[in-house]
Amino acid sequence: MNQSANDDGFFDHCPWLFAAQASEEQRAVQEQRRKRLLAGPGEVRLGADCFVAETAAVHPDVLDLGDRSYIAAHAYVTGDIRTGADCTINPFTVVRGTVTLGEGVRVGAHTSLLGFNHGTAPDLPVHRQPVTSRGITVGDDVWIGSHVVVVDGVTIGDHCVVGAGAVVTKDLPAWTVAAGNPARRIRDRREPGGGGQGPAEGRGESQGGPGASAEQWPGEVGGVSRGASSGGAGQRSAEVRGESHGGPGGGAGQRSAEARGESRGGPGGGAGQRSAEVLGESRGGPGGGAGQRSAEVRGESRGGPGGSAEQRPAKVLGKPHRDPRGSVEQRFALADLAEELVAFVGTARAQAPELLDRCRQPGSGHYVDRPGAQPTVRAHCDAVEIADLLLRDVPPQLTAAEHVQRLRALQDPGTGLVPEIGAAPPLPGPAGVPDDDGAAAYHVLCVGYALDLLGSSFAHPVHAVRNTTADRLVRHLADLPWRDRAWHAGAWVDSWATAAHWNLRLGAEAAAPGALEALFGWLHTHADPWTGMWGSPTPEAGRLQMVNGYYRLTRGSFAQFGLPVPYAERVIDTVLDHARDPRHFAPGRENACNVLDVIHPLWLCARQTTHRFEETRAWAAAQLTAALRRWHPGRGLAFGPTPDGSGPGREPGLQGTEMWLAIIWLLADVLGLADVLGYRPRGIHRPEPAPTAGKASGS
């Protein structure tokens, strides 16, 4: 250990070194500090591996400190302060009022984030003026330098860099590099040559900036690389913007209800109401005429700072403010689970090449789900996803270019759909995607995401969906078998919306004008306010069809486009009730489909509300414990039993392995343990909204 680490106050000033260098005695002291904070006044939640300096003045009303975040020496922290993971409040920093930080925010020393204000009316002395607070919101992957002042009411977008000494009085859009008093935009961080350089580099004067030298730019970053980030543009929750030029405007008078915080995105009912904007793309995104402006999702629904919608956009899928700690007994149980997760993923990673190799036919080069099965397109895509999860690479039997070539060649250029290996081109359905629950509908998902993981894309738009009109789509939605086959209906929506997504990625129209808007409008106005879902229970299977259909529907629509789901609390009630049904969840009866279709809705809704979160955690812990014991050496994971005996069943294979790896991540993430896995789904089961901005590579 560095000798200086023994000095009094060393880690208070250098907390980024605590995890690696602290002695057991110093760790015990920090644990006592945590306990005092947790037992003290105010509502305090501290994530895993947080550090709070003994010399910091921390007197909050609410403090929600994300995993691996720290508050360093002599910081002054009061008010309602909430941070994501990997946030740093460096020495002598002031954070007061209502302040919300995203993931991976670096705040330099001597900086002040002042999320409150006083009135200045002439009829009262200043010391008697009322205190107001509109709050400060900082996005993900933001670097704020030393001696910066950020005033109340400001939103700093994702990926911004704020130079040392700046005074930020107005909102900064994502990717802005800003400096000066008042702070002004210097450039876009993504501009060539930006790299990890100081943003000024002698160019500030010509662009209205202060012309500071590189040495004057953000520093004091806590010993962590300045490139630290919570993920790229495609790996974070989409912002729902109020601009009228971007998102769906509600074609054919079917704009959905405004996604207000009070109702957590619930629909308002009839025609003429507004839908939430999908992604706000200025290029190629769904249009919408004048008066069709989409609604902004209010910050109040996720415990964010108050103020009007005009004052700040909200993160649609921002993390709710919930307590990840639980009781002492729960924390010991989670520690044991974390050890099991580490052992599991080590085994899976070591055996991944073997299980991929056993599922490839030597002669044809095609992939099969398991030895003896027929080769399928899905098996090839599952292999790509497994290799990305466990090996961070492509399946080793082919090069990346060869995988891309094989998958792209499968697409029918006329319809844009993908048939099964050796089958005739599929026929589109009345509204684009086939209605038969066949392989072609699922290939829209699995082939598209496999190509995306390989750095490529479909060769052609999905013309069958691109040509769907709003009227035809609405008629077809109404005709889907919601009452008795809600899974079929939800799966159809998943495929249609995903095809629209790939069309946007290719720079094409998603569908005919107004169709994408009509989809979200119809879904908002037809969700059941008692269950939060579409469809009904059946006597034979209970809530199975509606819950499993809900997963498929929301995966391809709300989750993929970064929108809040309506009636999130009612959804949680419905899903947790379903998860107690012994027909599907008695020991030995669980399969990948049924578990995934419970945990994904719970995970998704937990981004909007803390409703029944402890029950969600308890269910996730039990399922995770069982899932980690299902690994078959060298063969992976089995899908699990199905009532009719069809499908992959109990034999381990690619489909079961791919699905369970994603399920394990979702279960672990609900418990705050996903980081120990060392992987994060980036394909069909990605947790973040899929990116739509920018054209995917066609290589």
Asked whether the predicted pLDDT for residue 220 surpasses 70, the reply is: no
Average pLDDT of 278-304? 32
Considering only residues 311 and 402, tell me which one the structure prediction assigns the higher pLDDT. Answer: 402
pLDDT tens, residue by residue, 451-487? 999 999 999 999 999 999 999 999 999 999 999 999 9
Asked whether the predicted pLDDT for residue 42 surpasses 90, the reply is: no
118 flagged as catalytic: yes
Q: Is the pTM of this model over 0.85?
A: no
**For residue 182, cis peptide bond before it (omega within 30 degrees of 0):** yes
State the pLDDT at residue 266.
Answer: 35
State the pLDDT at residue 639.
Answer: 92
Question: Is residue 131 within a helix (H) or strand (E), and if so which, with residue range?
Answer: strand 131-132
pLDDT tens, residue by residue, 175-186? 999 999 999 999
Q: How far apart are CA 524 and CA 534, in angstroms?
A: 10
State the pLDDT at residue 692.
Answer: 64
Asked whether the predicted pLDDT for residue 435 surpasses 90, the reply is: no
User: Could you tell me if 535 and 545 are in contact, meaning their C-beta atoms sit under 8 angstroms apart?
Assistant: yes
Q: How far apart are CA 658 and CA 656, in angstroms?
A: 6
Q: How far apart are CA 66 and CA 81, in angstroms?
A: 11
Q: How far apart are CA 623 and CA 603, in angstroms?
A: 14
pLDDT tens, residue by residue, 523-560? 999 999 999 999 999 988 999 999 999 999 999 999 99
State the pLDDT at residue 244.
Answer: 32
Q: How far apart are CA 384 and CA 375, in angstroms?
A: 15
Considering only residues 382 and 254, tell me which one the structure prediction assigns the higher pLDDT. Answer: 382
Q: How far apart are CA 568 and CA 560, in angstroms?
A: 16
CB atoms within 10 A of CB 402: 14
Read off the pLDDT band of 329 (50, 70, 90): low
Average pLDDT of 576-605? 94
State the pLDDT at residue 144.
Answer: 96
Asked whether the predicted pLDDT for residue 660 surpasses 60, the reply is: yes
User: Could you tell me if 63 and 81 are in contact, meaning their C-beta atoms sit under 8 angstroms apart?
Assistant: yes
Average pLDDT of 33-59? 91
Region for 581 from its dihedrals, namely left if φ exceeds 0, alpha if ψ lies in -120 to 50, beta otherwise: beta
Asked whether the predicted pLDDT for residue 580 surpasses 50, the reply is: yes
Catalytic residue among 118, 321, 366, 632: 118
Considering only residues 563 and 256, tell me which one the structure prediction assigns the higher pLDDT. Answer: 563
State the pLDDT at residue 588.
Answer: 82
Torsion angle in degrees (nearest 10) through CA of 520, 523, 526, 532: -120
Region for 513 from its dihedrals, namely left if φ exceeds 0, alpha if ψ lies in -120 to 50, beta otherwise: beta
DSSP letter string, 246-291: TS---GGGT------TTTTS----STTPPPBPS---SSSS----TT
Read off the pLDDT band of 650 (50, 70, 90): confident
State the pLDDT at residue 645.
Answer: 57
Nearest by Cα to 144 from 222, 201, 219: 219
Which region among 93-107, 221-235, 320-334 has the lowest average model confidence (pLDDT)? 221-235
Mean pLDDT of the chain: 80
State the pLDDT at residue 525.
Answer: 96
Asked whether the predicted pLDDT for residue 300 surpasses 80, the reply is: no
DSSP letter string, 657-670: HHHHHHHHHHHHHH
CB atoms within 10 A of CB 57: 12
Read off the pLDDT band of 293 (50, 70, 90): very low
State the pLDDT at residue 330.
Answer: 59
Q: How much of the chain exceeds pLDDT 70, in percent?
A: 76
Q: How far apart are CA 71 and CA 50, in angstroms?
A: 8
Q: How much of the chain exceeds pLDDT 90, in percent?
A: 63
User: In a 10 Å sphere around its CB, with 0-12 CB exposed, 13-18 middle and 19+ buried, how is residue 240 labelled?
Assistant: buried
Average pLDDT of 420-448? 91
State the pLDDT at residue 167.
Answer: 96
User: In a 10 Å sphere around its CB, with 0-12 CB exposed, 13-18 middle and 19+ buried, how is residue 231 labelled?
Assistant: middle
pLDDT tens, residue by residue, 358-389? 999 988 889 999 999 999 999 999 999 999 99
User: Could you tell me if 175 and 119 are in contact, meaning their C-beta atoms sit under 8 angstroms apart?
Assistant: no
Average pLDDT of 203-210? 31
Average pLDDT of 37-51? 90
Q: How far is CA 653 from CA 17, 310, 374, 588, in A?
A: 43, 51, 12, 18
Considering only residues 594 and 232, tell me which one the structure prediction assigns the higher pLDDT. Answer: 594
3-state SS record for 42-100: CEEEECCCCEECCCCEEEEEEEEECCCCEECCCCEEEEEEEECCCCEECCCCEEEEEEE
State the pLDDT at residue 641.
Answer: 81
Q: How far apart are CA 148 and CA 282, in angstroms?
A: 32
Read off the pLDDT band of 577 (50, 70, 90): very high
Read off the pLDDT band of 208 (50, 70, 90): very low
Which range has the top average pLDDT, 238-242, 395-399, 654-658?
A: 654-658
State the pLDDT at residue 301.
Answer: 33
Nearest by Cα to 18 from 44, 45, 53: 53
State the pLDDT at residue 71.
Answer: 96
State the pLDDT at residue 251.
Answer: 34
Nearest by Cα to 446 from 383, 354, 358, 356: 383
State the pLDDT at residue 215.
Answer: 30
For the chain, the C-alpha Rg in angstroms (whole number) is 26
Asked whether the predicted pLDDT for residue 347 surpasses 90, the reply is: yes
Which region among 170-179, 225-234, 488-497, 504-513 has the lowest average model confidence (pLDDT)? 225-234
pLDDT tens, residue by residue, 461-470? 999 999 999 9
pLDDT tens, residue by residue, 104-156? 999 999 999 999 988 888 878 888 888 888 999 999 999 999 999 999 999 99
pLDDT tens, residue by residue, 226-238? 333 333 333 333 3
